[in-house]
Structure 1
Amino acid sequence: MHLWCSYLLILLLLVFVCVQGQNPSSNGFINIDCGITSNTSYVDSFTGLTYVSDDQYIDTGLNDNIPSQYTVKKEYRDLETLRRFPNGTKNCYTLTPVTKGSKYLVRATFYYGNYDGLEKSPSFDLYFGVNFWFTVSLPRSDYFYAPEIIAIAPANYIQVCLVNTGLGTPFISALELRPLNSTLYKLANATQSLNIFERSDLGSNNSLVLRYPYDEHDRLWYSYTESSWNAISTGFSIEGFTFEVPSLVLQTAVVPSTANSSIDITWSTSNKSTMFFVVLHFAEIQIVQNTSLREFYVYANGEQPLKDPVPLKYLTPGYVSYTIRGQKNHNVSLKNSASATLPPILNAYELYTILPVTMLPTDATDVSAIESIKTKYSIRKYWNGDPCLPTNNSWTGVICTINSSRIPRITVLNLSSSGLTGAMVSAFGYLTELEKLYLSTCSLNGATEIISQKNKKEQTSSMYTHNLTKVLNFSFNSPDGGSGHKKSSKAVIFIIVAVVIVLLIVGAVGLFFLCLKMKKKDPTTFGTGNSSDVVDDQNSTSESGAGGKALNFDKKQFSFSELKLITNDFREKIGIGGFGEVFKGRLGEGNEVAVKVRSDSSSQGTQQFLNEVEMLSRVHHKNLVSLVGYCNDGNYIALIYEYMQEGNLQDRLKGISASNAQPLSWKQRLRIAYESAQGTPVFTNVVGTLGYLDPQYVLPASPVCSF
């Protein structure tokens, strides 16, 4: 027994050592010291973090050093160098890897240090992706500024851009990224970000900024106090929940010098419409006797965001948070209640400005295509950051249009006088909204053979080429727009149509014999082992259906009242089929779903419904829409699927998708027909509710479903 205990203790110790010894970079930290020698790195003595050069994150700019008379403390090694950007209006760092939709804290540090000898700090704008972050403007040469933004990654990378506004050369000293849990700072979401205004550790006598490793998220906590406050502290650890405030921050606090005084915090802004997010952190760190009472209220610009007194418990963290705007001058006041005998207490606070996400990045396919073109031809036009945004800083030669979904698309690309040579890469064809392409003085092989994939209703698109002076109208999937090739183009289309028809016939014959073969076997049902258990009466009610009991399936069961909430009382109908109507809905976490509700006229009985749920809970395929859950609530039966925002196959074939998705190309149609004939896993629907799998046409273990 003692031996086993020893083994267990050793194992736990090893786990502890491994966890404590993890390099933060393995947890998603990105630490960039801008301006140090390329391909170098060092371990910061204060944080233990490894900082690297910035050449792997940006390919523009020049390195520079801070003169010795402006050198700062050794704890701030990342302020000894900088990268400046004398050329180009917009220069962007691309931080990767990150996870699209995840939450991050990004910090950019700026220390001018009179590196250029001008004794005049420049002013320039900083962008988080395509949205304005703030204006950098340091009041003195020996000041440094380290703003943070808490935001959602709009893609699988994050771009931080310095934009020259004509008031000096932009520069940057350091750039850092820290992943955050989704539960932290919930006001930071897809529609808005949080920009740090102030973060203070009250009552601390620490002359340095408190950060990692004391704060696992590497937030910067600055020590702050006032002459009218008394500092208090405790040696006991306090673990912060909700905002995960470091124990060292909560272990110190301030109280007014006199019991009847209040704690007042003030700040101001030049724009009264600026929205602030305020977080006050509390923890009782003194033992309060039964004869004493610490009880106080929070006042924000004279109003009470919290009507009750601040709840306090010994060595237990708490907080009060609220948003406020409408004034240029703001204040927070902590005032005692009438019965209080002890003064109010405050351990720390955070102030953020709320930045709306007003713009969305350029279409990902367009970005990938234009980046490929840039790389292939080594285009040096200071093409970095988003190709389309900010609008007045789009890439040279690129013109974009913002579509109805607020997503910029590249519509004009002017590469004239770029001297491009060689083969014309297929990436041009992925600019599906491209209307005009200028290639004068370029010598690209196959320029007239690249077809824009933009699919207008007339199925034509326009492109300028290097060897023609007029706009060429390319027929859909026609390799040439010249009149001399019309016959060959028609011949190609005729052959494709003939091949598709033959393959469809072969596929249909194959399916017929497959179904015939399966029909000869004993009928089976999903979830039962006896074919006599099958009930095919739409008016029949099983025990599960009548009683609303949960089925033995690995899918979530919803009540009918939940369905009404999800679908906003079945407001948006998106389809109808043999089973019933389909409604668009949204789950609590924001995921869109399609809710398929059985109608009274449906030919499908309860047992068929159970079969469908059972079958869908087992089938998983990249081309098959997934089942999210089901409703079996009394007389109400429904299936909840993932929502297919691109519409169904029939609409895609006709080009009438409500989501404005493009019609399927001949190549795509040919692939669908070919894979169906082969019996490979192509999942589409023509029978039942369009776009969603109907179990009447699915054979067990069959790779081809309802085609």
Structure 2
Amino acid sequence: MAAIEQNPRITTAWSLMLLLSLASAGVLLQAFAQLDGNGFISIDCGLPGTVSYVDEETSLSYAPDAAFTDTGSNHDISDDYITPELSRIHRNVRSFPDGKRNCYTLRSLMAGSKYLVRATFKYGDYDRLSRPPIFDLYVGVNFMSEVNISDPDAVVILEAVVVVVDDVVQVCLVNTGTGTPFISGLELRPLKDSLYPQANATQGLLLLGRRNFGPTNKSDMVSQPKDPTPGYIAILHFAELQLLPANTLREFYINLNGKPWYSKPYSPTYLYTDTVYNTDTSRGPGRTKDIEDGYSDFGGRPAPAIGGFTRRYDISINATANSTLPPTINAIEVFSVVPTTNIGTDSKDRSKSNNTVKPQNELTGNGYGHSSLHLENRRFTYRKLEMITDGFQRVLGRGGFGYVYSGFLEDGTQVAVKLRSHSSNQGVKEFLAETHILTRIHHKNLVSMVGYCKDGEYMALVYEYMAEGTLQEHIAGSDHDERCLTWRQRLRIALESAQGLEYLHKGCNPPLIHRDVKATNILLNEKLEAKIADFGLSRAFGHNSDTHISTNTLVGTPGYVDPEYQATMQPAIKSDVCSFGVVLLELITGKPAILRDPEPTSIIQWARQRLARGDIEGVVDARLPSDDHNVNGVWKVADVALKCTAIASVQRPTMTDVVMQLQECLELEEGRASGNTTEGFVYTGSSGNLRLHYNHALLADLSAEVSQKNDGFPVDHNFGMLAAMMSTGPATR
């Protein structure tokens, strides 16, 4: 697919307003774009800071991109490519040297509406390597175009007309191994539903070329073609811009490759826009066509060909015998029809009210049950997996799905290959669920999928390699384990894991429930950065206001399962919160979710009983030196954990609350480590629904709480019954 290259004078006339959400302590938690009065979003990619600017030429506002993506780095292009005429948006870029796929998230859209998405790229030797890259551009999960930067001084523009399925859409750059992806600008414009009817929920339009012959008001360049068929669509725009004198007529025929395109003579109307289009669209095998306009009856010079197309596509407009004026044309647009894929939530996992799941992050359709995958991630054959894993030699771990093996791609990138065992109790449904979810959720604290394999009876997922393994491996270390995590490391891991879950609950619409949050599903890279993994059991809600979804199978892992979910068979957002509270207790204590000495006991009950007595040191991991942490800091995290594991889900905080509290805990710990704190202070907290003060009254309340709730949460947690109820779910993953 061809891109449009224009000179550095290119400018746009679009604008943006940005809304930032700040935590009470002054910490920036999350920023959301809010559309301006015209419904526009305009982003200057690579612009540092948080301050927008007004473009001098268009008088419209452009915003920095930090609120739209959390990966990549900012760069200025080389001074050699900066001229006074160059638009400000093209003077800097954001590049993405890490990861295969990096995305911008555009929010506050109108679900089911039509939008124009425009991405611009000016290389300008920003990396001082003089090697323009080639990479791919996706809108949502759908491939739109290859971005091929052949000239470092060119501005490459890609435009697509798409229908968004919900109030958010992601625009992603995918590394194809031929250079580091980058972007200069990203803009989004709403379109009337009547425009470009070829763009719908099943297909979009990619602009291959546009030639503007006259009007300067871009709002006049609209099209209303009908009867679309897949292939290439050429749209001609006409408007009479002169009030014609009496006894004059502008009338002409429109021909395509020598044949009538428009059956009757056409006469444009004064100050009224109209369009003509081809219904017999080209279906060439990946080849686009040149367009040339000819004024044959009047000796007009053909306009330059549009784009870098490979065959001629002749369009002529010829005056009729009755016409007293020459024909005119205002603009030509050529689009490629791009099929779009919408993937859905399992039809069994809908709320009892039978509300259809409202999609976001392209989680749409009627289920994971189809047998084919049409994803942008690389598809591996089983033979290829054998090659990259050297015959499945090195085992990294094992879960309910099967063994996980180490492998290396052709470029030397290390990956983890999770191969489904034929004896696994997880089947095609879970495999497809995880594959589809991982191609649609993107966050720095969620594991990234490199590719997948579905080759006959063989199924596998290929992930980014996480060098430090699972959090469970670090928690379960021996007393003299050199890998024993410090308290500060544990806090950071807790915060990063919480951020990943918060994204599933708040950054996705419909929200996603992980349903198997546990220490073995939190992976650590070489920097001990935490990422949530294993989405085979994840499910989506129908609406943000829903409280649960209905299932007929209890899934999860003993010791982490929400007791309310166990009793009602209705997993909810707060089920993940409960499981995360168990992970927090594991980080504090260094003990597993189920203690088996002298008999199976929930870590929740074990910790509650000791904390009720004020025995915080008896709860803290014995491997941690006494000078490694502050007791008050541990109390804070312990209180968050106990709130997360409250018996009634309504008493639990949200993951947003948890993120805020853990952020404060980490900041206080870092301040203590640097000497910027006072020993002995008592923290009173700032969250409205987390009581965080530590005194005798609290201990008395906590003791009473444990006494009152023993009947509702027995010491042995009834693990025998739980194991029997989990016949179709993994005991360990």
Normalised by the length of structure 1, the TM-score is 0.45
Higher RCO, Cα 8 Å, sep 6+? 2
Structure index of larger Rg: 1
**TM-score, scaled relative to structure 2:** 0.44
